[in-house]
Amino acid sequence: MSTEQHPDSESGTGTPEGPRPGRLTAAAAIAAIEGLALVGGGLFMLVMGLMGKPDQPRQAETGGVTLIVLGIIPLVAARGLLLRRRWSRGPALITQILALPVAWMFLNADGAAIPVGIATAAVAVTGLVLLVNPATAEALGVRGAGGSQAP
């Protein structure tokens, strides 16, 4: 009987044992939802640009491709979180941090953009809280400062 572990790309150690904490699963879900939202928005912009609907189709096409590429990052991070890969925490954290200025932009807009800003901020803050939680760090095998295990 083989007890093969999946190697972690940073340290060569195996994936931490035990069940995946709910916080880690929730953080992966948030990252996946954000990634899907970016890809969906990018596809919408790209299609509108290709159909010539906006005033500047080339700008819409470029923006659409950019959003699609940016959406891949949280999707890959979500998969890494589900597989308990230590490296996945960094891209997931960066995604949450970058979502905060986007939320602020929506909050400073008028009309229907304000609820979008509230939702974006709530999702980003929730994602940050889940990702910095000690249980999440432990489940990913992230060590604290000085090489000690995260509490």
Q: What is the pLDDT of residue 8?
A: 44
How do residues 30-77 score in pLDDT, each as one tens digit? 999 999 999 999 999 999 988 887 788 888 899 999 999 999 999 999
- Find the range with the poorest average confidence among 6-20, 21-35, 128-142: 6-20
Cβ 29 vs Cβ 136: under 8 Å: no
Cβ–Cβ under 8 Å, residues 128 and 95: no
User: Band of the pLDDT at 147, cuts 50, 70, 90?
Assistant: low
Whether 30 contacts 126, CB under 8 Å: yes
- Residue 135 pLDDT greater than 70, yes or no: yes
Q: Any bridge partners for residue 143, and if so which?
A: 149
User: What pLDDT was estimated at residue 55?
Assistant: 81
Q: Is 4 a residue whose pLDDT tops 90?
A: no
Q: What is the pLDDT of residue 69?
A: 95
The structural domains of the chain, with segments of one domain joined by +, span 22-141
Q: Is the pLDDT of residue 151 over 70?
A: no
Rounded Cα gap, residues 130 and 126, in angstroms:
6
- Whole-model pTM: value is 0.80
Query: What's the pLDDT score for residue 15?
Result: 60
CA angle 113, 25, 72 (to 5 degrees): 55
Strands (E), the chain: none
